[in-house]
Amino acid sequence: QQQVKQSPQSLIVQKGGISIINCAYENTAFDYFPWYQQFPGKGPALLIAIRPDVSEKKEGRFTISFNKSAKQFSLHIMDSQPGDSATYFCAASKGDDKIIFGKGTRLHILP
């Protein structure tokens, strides 16, 4: 049973465009929703995270939108740049528990 479902599997966006990645979760006990960015051959690095008491969080060009009733959250990358090309993972956890990852989205930004 996949607790965190992520889509799309891959995404191609023109430079300057908006990249949107969606995730849905099942466990209402989750209280922490991070997004990770992973470059080839590297470990995942925390990009931005949100808690369920807010509906949106913005850090620079990266925004998380959170819909608690629908149990969905999404990552928006504004003004996408070639350097944003990477694999992005949404995730969820409760308290100090393990992180449950989505399967990842391979993002490619065309120059």
Distance separating alpha carbons of residues 62 and 46, to the nearest angstrom: 12
18 in Cβ contact with 84 (< 8 Å)? no
Nearer to another protein, 15 or 42 (CB): 42
Least separation in angstroms between CB 48 and another protein: 11
Please pick, from the candidates 13, 89, 107, 109, the single residue that binds another protein as defined by CB under 8 A. 89
Q: Which range of residues in 14-22, 27-35, 58-66, 75-83 is near another protein by CB under 8 A?
A: 27-35
Residue 32-71 contact track with another protein, rule CB under 8 A, x = bound: x-x-x----xxxxxx--x-x--------------------
Interface residues with another protein (CB under 8 A) are 6, 31-32, 34, 36, 41-46, 49, 51, 89, 94-104
